[in-house]
Amino acid sequence: DSGVTQTPKHLITATGQRVTLRCSPRSGDLSVYWYQQSLDQGLQFLIQYYNGEERAKGNILERFSAQQFPDLHSELNLSSLELGDSALYFCASSVDVMGKGTEAFFGQGTRLTVV
């Protein structure tokens, strides 16, 4: 158990809908990262937050948004869903902004299926 909690584990929804994925980081971790992993694809970096503020943005679609709350949990909002958004969405957390020798710990992921 990495200590990072993601809910829900599975989500099935229809095209055009909106969903919210939730992540609780490890106790004491200030940074939260979101990644998307499609079938047989690598981890695509979406966005990173540090202590409530956005720190880095990757290939995140305009239909997607995220935030980190004062209690440090984070939510990833996906709207106007398309079939191609079906993927595993991972959240990871680390003690601080990386580059100081601290690894990111990953949650078990949310498997999103858009039908």
Partner 1 sequence: GQNIDQPTEMTATEGAIVQINCTYQTSGFNGLFWYQQHAGEAPTFLSYNVLDGLEEKGRFSSFLSRSKGYSYLLLKELQMKDSASYLCAVYDSGAGSYQLTFGKGTKLSVIP
Q: Smaller CB distance to partner 1: residue 79 or 97?
A: 97
* DSSP conformation letters of 48-108: EEETTEEEEE-S--TTEEEEE-TTS-EEEEE-S--GGG-EEEEEEEESSSSSSS-PPEE--
Closest separation in Å from C-beta 15 to partner 1: 24
Interface with partner 1, residue 42, by CB under 8 A:
yes
The residues binding partner 1 (CB under 8 A) are 2, 33, 35, 41-43, 45, 48, 55-58, 88, 90, 97-99, 101, 103-109
